[in-house]
Structure 1
Amino acid sequence: MVSFSQTEKEGDILIDKTQQDDTYRAGETIKVNAVIQGDLVIAGGKLIVNDSINGDLTAAGGELFINGYVADDVRIAVGRTTIDSEIGDDLYVFGGEVILTENAIIHGNLTCFAGNIEMNGIVIGKLEIKGDDVLINGTIKETSKIIGEDIIIGANAKFHKEVVYWNSDGEIDFSNSLINTKAQFNEDFGKEKSELSLTTFGTASFSLWIFYILSSFLMILVLHALFRNAFSNAVEGIENNWLKSFGFGLIYLLGIPLLIILALLIIIGIPLGLFATVIFIFSLLFGHLIAALLVVYYIKYKKDRNWGFWSITFLALVCAIVLRLLTIIPFVGIFLSVVILSITYGALTLKVIHSKKQLVKN
């Protein structure tokens, strides 16, 4: 038996009783203070795991803290991740900032794609890192592959097997960190750095496809759990308002950047401008995921399908992959992206405007 939680609105979730089976949760803040006997899948703004998980951990969201033991694999797509415990098998992490404290022990391999990476713990298996600012100040027992704009090797770093790396400034000094092994600079690895760009992501590397699918699924899970009513309501009457939706969406895509610039030019408007910038960037990065959910809800509404929460979530993932493949086509992809995002945000905007008018009338 699997434990599901379909959160209708934003809220805090506390797991303080032992879960005997696989557990799924989505919410604004999720805190795990009890043992999970099976796998745990969580998605939300702030995620805190304080107790043991006897299966896999899969997580997506804004911020994640792992303070409890995880017996099997960990797969993460999170803005900021802090790991302060033992991982029984492999760790796959994709995000903005990743920190492994000195208490972190990864018994399998560590594969990490992120902006800022700080590794202070122990990796029993292989290490593969691609990022911008990379600090290695821990122990790696097997081979290492490190690609970064700026790589720093700390005083406590220990490499027990061969290291291959690429650094934007060329070769670096590994000092006394190499234990009866060697480090080799590979110029060709610089080409792999481009795999993390928005334009090539998902086309050049199978491993990046895996991360993309995982992160997309978990982000769709978050968006669906928190805003399912908004998607359901937005598709009503959309077939008669395609052009209107496109127009409102285009105003959003072109108008918001102008408003942000104006806000940043005024001192009192700087905080609002910065906040609007974050929201706007988020809407661009995850626009195709939001569009995928809207498409699935439209089909459900149009065809009168009796799809439940998880059916819609998985169908939206398939739709998101298709949209992603379409939007990476040169030139045509840019046009499709503008059209898709415009209709998506236009439809949502029109629904908000309609709802406000209804409130005024009442």
Structure 2
Amino acid sequence: MKTIPLLFMGLFSIVAFGQFESGEDLLISDQQKDDIYLAGETIEINAVVRGDVVAAGGNISVNDSIYGDLTAAGGELFINQYIADDVRVSGGSITINSEIGDDLVVFGGEVILTKNAKVSGNLLCYAGDVKMNGEVVGMMKTTGADVTVNGTIQGTSKIIGEDIEIGDNARFLSDVEYWSSDGEIDFKESLVNANAQFNEDLREDRPEFSWVSFGIASLALWGFYMLSAFLVILVLHALFRKAFSKSVQTLQQHTIKSFGYGLIYLIGVPLLIAIAFMMIVGIPLGLFITTIFIFSLLFGHLIAALLLAYYVTQKNKKNWGFWSITFLALLLAIVLRVLTIIPFLGIILSVVILSFTYGALTLRALKNRNIPEPIE
């Protein structure tokens, strides 16, 4: 069994062909027939998705139609095309510039519904700065620090804001209940067969916007991270269960050698890639190795978590089953992720963790190919 090549090809298959995709920059350019789960720094959906989309990233853009639900969390979100079902999003800055087929639930620092935006269901919005310039067919409940309404709301409305501004194009076709720190405000000509009532009791629903937005976005990001990590760990565990179990034995027998071989991998592969790119005939091989190496770094802490989970169970002589080890690996992955984001120290920990992990897997692969193991 060639553990390392199979493991990397498994990672490549998950990213390239599976319903879960993860990477620094993700571009969905081919039509997706089923649900997809995305995690990356930059995510662009430029093709039709027939199922649901779950996404977490720094910058997320939806530029083609989604015929299921959209659940997303990120720094900046742009929804520029039709979403057929519910949308639940959170982030620092969120722009809705298309039609939403059902309900929209949004949490953010800044939320903008452009004049092209249409929510066919209900709108529930919690944000610091809200600009509603589109149309809401159902009811609207908006809570924010600065709230500007310059669109059309057909259902009943509840608006809570430190500062509420009603634009010249605003139209309320049903009753409005509101609270503003300035007291009663002028709704101008916006009320169409409707009444606006100032309600002091709504003040109790006013949150600390900045902390709420930040907290919700952070929790959402961690939630999506755990979902993404669980899916990857589940697939890797199912495909390479025996490989991880045997690699732990190698790690215990050749701890120092494992670290050394892993360090050679982390340093040697980039050198090999550089040499390949220097030769014209080696460019295709260099591109392939680069892709595999990047995937190994992206999924490194998840692979390490699985290896560590097997190490813990064997060290403590636990006879745990598949699911127990999977969930233990998820817990360890979260711990490793928290540790590796510590400035400077995180880089050192990442190098050490990946060295032990890929070193143990490499040594196991050498043994399976009947190559003599190094002598201590």
* Same topology, TM > 0.5: yes
Following the alignment from structure 1 to structure 2, what is the Cα–Cα distance between the partners of residues 100 and 84?
A: 6
1:46 aligns to what? 59
Match of 2:204 in 1: 191
Work out which of the residue numbers 17, 20, 23 in structure 2 matches 1:5: 20
* Residue 166 (structure 1) aligned with residue 179 (structure 2): yes
| Contact 1:3–1:24 under 8 Å retained in 2 | no
Distance 1:3 1:357, change over 3 A: closer
Indicate how the Cα distance of structure 1 residues 121 and 310 shifts in structure 2: closer, same or farther if over 3 A, else same. farther
Report how far residue 194 of structure 1 moved: 3.0
SS at 2:20's partner residue? coil
Separation in 1, partners of 2:310, 2:325? 12
User: Separation in 1 of the partners of 2:178 and 2:307?
Assistant: 46
C-alpha contact 2:140 2:158 (8 A) present in aligned 1: yes
Structure 1: which amino acid aligns with 2:87? V
Write the mapping of 1:142-221 to structure 2, written as runs, cut at 5 A.
Answer: 142-194=155-207, 196=209, 198=211, 214=220, 216-218=222-224, 220=226
CA–CA separation in structure 2 for the residues paired with 1:129 and 1:160: 16
Instruction: Say which structure, 1 or 2, has more relative contact order (CA 8 Å, 6+ apart).
Output: 2
SS in 1 for 2:106: strand
1:188 maps to amino acid: D
Name 1:117's counterpart in structure 2: 130
Q: What residue ranges of structure 1 are gaps of 5+ in the alignment?
A: 203-207, 227-293, 321-342
- Displacement of 1:6 in angstroms is 4.5
The one-letter amino acid paired with 2:19 is F
CA distance in 2, matches of 1:40, 1:81: 17
CA contact (8 A) 2:41 2:58 kept: yes
Does residue 18 in structure 1 map to residue 69 in structure 2?
Answer: no
Q: How many Å apart are 1:218 and its aligned residue?
A: 2.7
Q: Are the equivalent residues in 2 in contact too, given 1:55–1:73 (CA < 8 A)? A: yes
Identity %: 50
CA deviations over 1:212-245 (Å, ceiling 9, x no partner): 865651355589999xxxxxxxxxxxxxxxxxxx
Deviations 1:62-105 (A, max 9, x none): 11111110000000011111111100000000011111110101
- In structure 2, the gaps of 5 or more residues are 1-16, 233-303, 315-319, 354-376
Change (3 A) 1:6 1:315: farther
**1:58 alignment partner, SS class:** strand
Q: In 2, are the aligned partners of 1:220 and 1:313 still within 8 Å (CA)? A: no
Distance 1:180 1:216, change over 3 A: farther
Check conservation: 1:117, 1:134, Cα contact below 8 A. yes
Q: 1:192, CA displacement in angstroms? A: 1.0
**1:354, distance to aligned residue in structure 2 (A):** 5.4
**Amino acid in structure 2 at the alignment position of 1:150:** D
- In the TM superposition, what whole-angstrom CA distance separates every residue of 1:6-31 from its partner, at most 9, and x where no partner exists? 52x52x11111110000111111111
RMSD: 4.2
How many Å separate the matches in 1 of 2:307 and 2:351? 22
Which amino acid in the other structure matches residue 347 of structure 2? V
SS at match of 1:217: helix
Q: In structure 2, how many angstroms separate the alpha carbons of the residues matched to 1:316 and 1:143? A: 47
Distance 1:316 1:90, change over 3 A: farther
CA 1:217/1:297 → structure 2, altered by over 3 Å: closer, same or farther?
A: farther
Q: Distance in 1 between matches of 2:172 and 2:32?
A: 39
Where does residue 111 of structure 2 map in the other structure?
A: 98
Contact 1:3 1:21 in 2 (8 A): no
Q: Note the 1:159-308 alignment, pairs <5 A.
A: 159-194=172-207, 196=209, 198=211, 214=220, 216-218=222-224, 220=226, 302-303=312-313
**SS of structure 1 residue aligned to 2:59:** strand
SS at match of 1:189: helix
What is the CA–CA distance in structure 2 between the aligned matches of 1:297 and 1:117, rounded to whole Å? 46
